[in-house]
């Protein structure tokens, strides 16, 4: 009889464990990304995900930068991450791709992570805090050499203000001697339905 009672107790505990395990996915779903996180990725990627800005204020004969910069973003499965790229355009023609991007929800730190790689052997990584009540999104990244040294090369901060459904403004800063120094300001305009400027 003792052996039977012991077996029944084990079965009861096993049943409780299974019930708790079944409940865990519900807990994770409750603590998942909020609606504003999903809306953030939807804003960037909708209807082709192409954004264009003039570079007239910064292009010179010496630096030979393109007349325009563009970004293209595509939302990934699940709706809480996206991939993209930054490219140049001059006189209406594509002149190069400079960065590839990945941005996604980090379920451990409960933040949006930002990661990018360039053809120049540099990798940037960091996190983005989404603005509330009209405040800009704030992303800070540290950039490292992609080679075996892993040397930190520089740091950049971006403020991104969603001006309207089709316009956003970005301001970049360089980390110089312990302070953020203003770098560049761009106004980006969405190009709805553009399927010709992919990554």
**Residue-averaged pLDDT of the chain:** 86
Residue 6 domain boundaries? 1-31
Inter-residue long-range contacts of 158-166, CB under 8 Å, 24+ positions, other chains counted: 160/136, 161/131, 161/136, 161/137, 162/43, 162/137, 163/187, 165/190, 166/190, 166/192
| 133 domain-assigned | yes
Same-domain check for residues 23 and 92: no
Query: How much is the average pLDDT of 47-72?
Result: 96
In this structure, what CATH number is given to the domain that contains residue 175? 2.40.128.20
Same-domain check for residues 46 and 27: no
Same-domain check for residues 142 and 176: yes
> Domain count of the chain?
2
| 195 domain-assigned | no
Query: How much is the average pLDDT of 58-81?
Result: 96
| 199 domain-assigned | no
pLDDT digits (tens, 9 = 90+) for 82-110: 999 999 999 989 999 999 999 999 999 99
Query: How much is the average pLDDT of 170-192?
Result: 97
| 198 domain-assigned | no
Residue with tokens 């990934």: 76
């Amino acid at each position: 009889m003792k052996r039977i009672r012991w077996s029944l107790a084990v079965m009861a505990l096993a049943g409780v464990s299974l019930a708790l395990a079944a409940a865990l996915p519900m807990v994770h779903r409750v603590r998942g990304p909020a609606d504003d996180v999903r809306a953030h990725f939807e804003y960037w990627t909708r209807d082709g995900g192409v954004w264009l800005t003039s570079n007239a204020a910064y292009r010179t004969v010496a630096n030979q930068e393109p007349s325009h910069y563009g970004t293209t973003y595509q939302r990934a499965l699940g709706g809480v991450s996206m991939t993209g790229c930054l490219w140049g355009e001059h006189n209406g023609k594509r002149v190069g791709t400079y960065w590839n991007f990945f941005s996604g929800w980090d379920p451990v730190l409960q933040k949006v992570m930002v990661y990018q790689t360039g053809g120049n052997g540099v990798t940037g990584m960091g996190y983005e805090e989404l603005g509330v009540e009209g405040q800009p999104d704030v992303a800070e990244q540290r950039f490292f050499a992609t080679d075996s040294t892993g040397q930190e090369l520089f740091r950049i901060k971006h403020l991104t203000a969603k001006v309207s459904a089709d316009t956003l403004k970005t301001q970049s800063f360089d980390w110089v001697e312990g302070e953020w120094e203003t770098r560049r300001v761009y106004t980006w305009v969405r190009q709805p339905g553009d399927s010709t400027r992919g990554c």
